[in-house]
Amino acid sequence: MSSVIPTVIRVGARPAQLDALGTYFNGESAEAKSVTLHIDECAKALVIKWDGGKVNWLLAQIQLVPDQADQDQLLMANQIHPLARLITDEKLIALRCPNLHRSVVQVNKWRILTWALAAVMAVALIIFVLVPRIADNLADLMPPNGEQALGAATLGHIRGALDQSGTGLSFCTHEAGRNVLNNLTVRLTPGQSLPGLLTVHVLNHDMVNAFALPGGQIVVFRGLIEVAETPEELVAVIAHEIGHVVSRDPTRHALRSAGSIGVLGLLFGDFAGGALLLFLAEQLIEARYSQTAETEADSFAHQILIQIHVSPASLGDMFQRFLQKYGEDEGVMSHFVSHPEMIERIEAARAAVPTNFQPRDLLEVSEWRALKNICS
């Protein structure tokens, strides 16, 4: 790679009519050209001549290069050709340059814009292409205990972030309701390949929400249980989240978020420790998985519901009811109802009901009452 040598003109003074001798570097090579200087009054330009060539510098575009070692000579540059240099001790030439003492550094706006655009595209490539691919590979390689540790740490930050008292949001552990929920969890996971032991937590919060965390952990809020009209609707939501756990979507999402935070942290400031986990907690609460991931989780839920004699239409009914009640951006977890393909998902749930399917009651009335009161 060749280096660019600034062009320099070294001029020895000659008294006649502002003519002078000097040395000129054009900024493209290391060759020094012996030149003569003459001011063209009509063009208001400094004419620089050498054997076989000539260049004109407008007087208004000539600037003095600062921090010169030899103060008896003038080291000058040109705004249009900022790498070129001219040296002369002819002070009268300097007097004819109106912008001589302005900054010699010129800002090439188009070059800066080009580099800025390239930098933005590079960051976008890393965040939206490289990080997701690396995260997907790491998710498949992460050991179960690693996933469980990540899920536990994130759950702890979720509890702290949602509890304004600072003591941490409490779990709902009423014994009768907890027993019913544990039995349902066992029925929903026969022979499934899970990253560790599946645990369904109920948090004592009125948010109408449910989501999955890395390491086989599912979080259901009290608000969702209270709003659910039937146990089938609640179980349909849990079955959907189990689908995400089996596909390890929460782990992929967490690793992608962490990778993106790391890249942005290098650019704009450090993200580490508690701040990183807190951000991951927020990302997982409002996780918006891809359309493929959501469709696969729905299909998983349909199959599991059929196995326990619950109509897959329960999932579609839940989507429909919350969509009508809360709209596109509120209610049961934004990653359920904000997707533009929600109507298609409702129709798919109802279409998944087998011909002549006969559903069975999922819970006794007393069991459903106990589950509804799990946070008592």
Residues 83 and 197 in one domain: no
Looking at this protein, which amino acid is placed at residue 141? L
Residues 42 and 190 in one domain: no
Contact assessment for residue 100 and residue 63, using Cβ atoms and an 8 Å cutoff: yes
Q: Is residue 59 part of a domain?
A: yes
Structure confidence at residue 308 as a pLDDT band (50, 70, 90): very high
Q: In this model, does residue 339 exceed pLDDT 70?
A: no
Q: Is residue 1 part of a domain?
A: no
Contact assessment for residue 201 and residue 155, using Cβ atoms and an 8 Å cutoff: yes
**15: domain CATH number?**
2.30.29.30
Indicate the range of 32-46, 232-246, 255-269, 313-327 predicted with least confidence. Answer: 255-269
Residues 84 and 138 in one domain: no
pLDDT digits (tens, 9 = 90+) for 231-278: 999 999 999 999 999 888 888 888 877 776 666 666 655 555 555 555
User: What is the rounded distance in angstroms from the CA atom of residue 19 to the CA atom of residue 49?
Assistant: 11
How is residue 220 annotated by DSSP? E
How is residue 49 annotated by DSSP? E
User: What is the rounded distance in angstroms from the CA atom of residue 55 to the CA atom of residue 36?
Assistant: 11
Q: pTM for this one?
A: 0.63
What average pLDDT does this structure show over 163-182? 88
- CA 370 → CA 29, 155, 173, 239, 375, distances in Å? 86, 25, 11, 20, 10
Residues 164 and 297 in one domain: yes
Residues 172 and 307 in one domain: yes
The share of the chain scoring above pLDDT 70, in percent, equals 78
Q: List the one residue out of 300, 283, 289 whose CA is nearest residue 341.
A: 289
Q: Treating both helix axes as pointing N-terminal to C-terminal, what angle do 291-307 and 313-326 enclose, rounded to 10 degrees?
A: 130
User: What phi and psi values does residue 203 have, to the nearest 5 degrees?
Assistant: -100, 140
Q: List the one residue out of 48, 32, 33 whose CA is nearest residue 90.
A: 48
Residue ending a domain, among 34, 62, 95, is 95
| Strands of the sheet with 199-203, listed across from one edge | 199-203, 217-221, 210-213
Residues 127 and 58 in one domain: no
User: What phi and psi values does residue 90 have, to the nearest 5 degrees?
Assistant: -85, 95
Domain that holds residue 34: 10-95
Residues 133 and 91 in one domain: no
The number of beta carbons lying within 10 Å of the beta carbon of residue 205 is 20
Q: Is residue 4 part of a domain?
A: no
Phi-psi region of 18 (alpha: psi -120 to 50; beta: other; left: phi over 0): left
Question: What is the model's pLDDT at position 333?
Answer: 45
Question: What is the model's pLDDT at position 265?
Answer: 61
Contact assessment for residue 346 and residue 294, using Cβ atoms and an 8 Å cutoff: no
Residues 66 and 176 in one domain: no
Residue ending a domain, among 80, 95, 110, is 95
Q: Is residue 52 part of a domain?
A: yes
The number of beta carbons lying within 10 Å of the beta carbon of residue 158 is 25
Residues 76 and 122 in one domain: no
Residues 333 and 220 in one domain: yes
Residues 31 and 141 in one domain: no
Q: Is residue 294 part of a domain?
A: yes
Helix (H, G, I), strand (E, B) or coil at 307: helix
Residues 74 and 145 in one domain: no
Q: Is residue 14 part of a domain?
A: yes
Facing residues of 220 across strands? 202, 210
The number of folded domains in the chain is 2
Residue 314 in tokens: 């329960």
Q: Is residue 110 part of a domain?
A: no
Element (H, E) at 45: strand 45-50
How is residue 174 annotated by DSSP? -
Structure confidence at residue 166 as a pLDDT band (50, 70, 90): low
The number of beta carbons lying within 10 Å of the beta carbon of residue 343 is 13
Q: Is residue 28 part of a domain?
A: yes
